Each structure stands twice: as C-alpha cells, then as structure tokens.
Amino acid sequence: MAILLVLPAALTAQKLDEEDKKFLSDVHPIILRDEEATFKGLGDKADRVEFRRLFWARRDPKSLARYAELPAPENDFQRQYLKDLAAADDRFHFAYLRGSSTDCGRILILLGKPDDAYYGSQASLGLQAWASRGVQERSPVTWVYEQRPGLDLGGPSGRLVIRFDEDCKAAGTIAQYLERIAATKIVHREIGYFVGRDGHLVPLAEQLPRETIARRLLNNPRQDFPVAVATSFLRTDDGRTAVLGLVRGEDAGRASGDSAGTRTVDVSVAASALAQGGSEVDRTEQATRALVSPDGAFVGSFKLTLRPGRYTLKAVVLDVDSGRGSVASLPVEVPDLAGVETTVLLLLRDIEETGGDARSDAANPYAAFTLGTTRLVPHFGTTLHRTDPLVIFYQAYNLSTGRDGRADATVTVSVMKGTSTLAARRDAITTSVAGAALGPVPLAALEPGNYLVRLALEDRVSDRHVTQEMPLAIVP
C-alpha cells in the first residue's frame, strides 16, 4: 500500500463554489475544526467531492464493507442528520441566520430534544408544550438534559442545563463541549483524509476493508485448532477506550525453528467488534510472527477502539502457511475510561523499550500493547507458573483536581494471600491520570495456591475510594 501522508496545510485551495459552501453550511453542527480546515485547503473540486464521501462514511454506523457493492448503500446517519437539520432550520430560523447555525439548532441536532424546558421563571413546560412553541416566539429559554448512556453530560448531578437568550445563543462557553460531542459521531476513524503520491485524496474505495482469508473466516467461522481470547482496556489519548486483545492458540503444526532453536509460526490475527444491533463498528488485521512455547501454544494481539457499551467480539487466528484457522467469539462490555474515576490492572511478563523500529514492531506478537516507545508484554490469563516473571501494571484515570490543578491521591497495589500482604507498592498521585508498575514479583518464593492482586485508590479531593481486585493462581 502506498505511503499515506496527512494533508499538508500548505496546499493552495481553489475558491469554494456554491455547492461547497452549501455543504459546509449543512454540516456546520457536526464538522470538526480540523475537518473544515482540511476541506477549505483542498486543491481541486474532485478532492472536495471525495471529501464529502469520506465525511459521511466516517459517520456511517454500519459496516463499510457495504460500500464495495453497487449501487452505493444508503447512509443511515446522513439520512437522519439531514432530517434533523431540516427540523432545526424550520424551528429556529432568523431572517439573517438559518436555524441549524444557532446554538439552539446545533444542540438540538447533537443531543436531540431536551428532557425538560422552561421559559424565564415559569415552571416546567414539558416536551409537549416545548414542541408546540412557534418560531416567532423569541424569549430566553432553558433546556435540561438528563444523563444518558454513553454520553457524558458533565456535572456531579449528571444533568446538563443550557440557558439561551432571545437570539438562541447559549450562555457561557459551550463550543468546546459541542466539538467533543460532534467528535463522538465519528465511528470509522480508520477512514481519513489522506493524500496519496499523486497529490490527491485517497478515495474511499481504496480505504475500504479488503476481503482476506481471515475476514472470510469471520463470516464463516470454524475451529481448526483450539483458540482463546482475553481482553484488557486502556484509555487512548483522545479519551476513548482501547480494547487490547490477546489470542492464544495451539501450535498449528507449521512452526519453524531458527539457528538458535526458537520455534515460530506466521499467523494473521484479525478481530471485529459488533454492536448490539449486529453492525460492525471496528475491525483490525495484523500479520504476526509468534513464538511457540514448549507446551505448543502461541499468542498474538490486536487493538480495537470503541465507545463504552456492550459488543460481541470476534477474533480470528489464521496459520498463514497451512491456511488453517480458528475463530473465537465472546461478549465484551467496554468501560467508560473518559468520564469516570476508575483504574485498570494488567499482569505482565515484562515492559520493553521498542527502539522505535515501526516495521519490526508491527509484526511483534504484542504489538497492540505498544504505548509510544514502550511495549507491555502481558500474561494470558491469571494462572502463572512459579518460574514465570510477574510485573503488575496499573493506570488510574480521571482523578479529581483542586483549585491548584493538582490531584491529591494515593494508589496502593498489593499481592495478598488471605489477609497477609506479600508485596506492595504505594504511590502518591498529583495528576488526573497516572500509572506505574510493581515488580518483578518473585513467584518462586511463593507456594502454589490462590492469591489476590489488589489496587486501592484513595482520592482525597473527591473523597472517593476505588478498589479493584484480580485473582492470581500460582501453579508448580
């Protein structure tokens, strides 16, 4: 695949025609600032037409594989959005401004109808009375939204209260909040506004998921050898949740050895996340050269980025040489790591420095667990041998901060046997996000049996306590 570069801002843009201006006006409530800058900076009309295809496809809730079919599929998001746009234009228009460009219109499009509303000091109108108000009535109004699943409305009460003046302008600074809500409408972030070697946008058709043997296995699953899947979660830089998957399969019978006697197998690891309605919301596929352990097992990894909620996760392990493969499926509930004070725990074999070699890192069995120039090497499961290395890794998210902008918290990580603490690490936390590692823990000094890894977070700013526990079994 050709090397793709992010669109340079220095491209000379042609003057936008009326069709381009109408597009920007229509998508004003949901287009992100960097998307708008990219569109305005495009060099010719053909690229701006392709931009529109990419823009709507990024927000299509269904699988992008449909776009390989003819005729082009209907985009449910686009259809509903244009309907909501027309409703906002009709309800909130001014002589000099279309309704969807007002704060009232944009918030109605992004959040839907409020749960309650009232004018001035009047009592609650209720939605029926709110909907019956005519566009000619111009008076200050307050909208109230209650907390909704998957949407962080902010505030300790879980409610969002927005006050508008007679010109439908929202009080306070709400633009940044609306930008964040608009960003959540993008469900296919693998589709982007890239520039190819010809200097033009890479078309949507060239960014669609390609049919591979591993992808065909997802639709027609089989079990050629035993395979199992385990998942972990970490927060991404943009506040979403990364689902880090680890797949463990048996030696597919095609392992080879190098000069040092190390046995390896070339596999392709693919994964797909299906929303409750059955539509695919994220996918990935990666070629991996996996080490084969003495017991004949090998591992690979994958990463998906998902919103909080419930999904069905399907993972494929394909032996590239023999064509044998297996599929595992499991339900996954993705936690909210962006808006809730919470912690994550991982049991690791090691923490490595990658050296920044992107090509070799991509084929590493643990590539999905790479954070910058650091790679986490996880254990599969929570049953370890006494000869196994153990490093306990944690991260804490969304700690409260005081007026000085600093957190005041303590994290204690312990390995326990009953009520006895065998190893512990205690960290003082002064930032809203923090992490550290305990270990290596000498398992050879521990008797076989059942143990407990315990993380205790004490947040003195919010006066909250968070506890997370993970069982640990040590075997001979």
User: Model confidence at 189, in pLDDT bands (50, 70, 90)?
Assistant: confident
For residue 305, pLDDT beyond 70: yes
| Residue 202, CA distances (Å) to 14, 33, 48, 197 in order | 19, 21, 12, 9
What mean pLDDT comes out for the span 182-207?
88
For residue 439, pLDDT beyond 80: yes
Return the DSSP state at 291: E
What mean pLDDT comes out for the span 182-192?
85
For residue 149, pLDDT beyond 70: no
For residue 238, pLDDT beyond 70: no
For residue 155, pLDDT beyond 50: no
Q: In 379-463, which ranges are E strands?
A: 383-385, 391-397, 409-417, 420-429, 434-438, 449-459
Return the DSSP state at 367: G
CA nearest neighbour of 302 among 284, 320, 280, 279: 284
User: Model confidence at 168, in pLDDT bands (50, 70, 90)?
Assistant: confident
pLDDT of residue 254: 54
| Cα 384-251-217 angle, rounded to 5 deg | 110
Which is more confidently placed, 264 or 456?
456
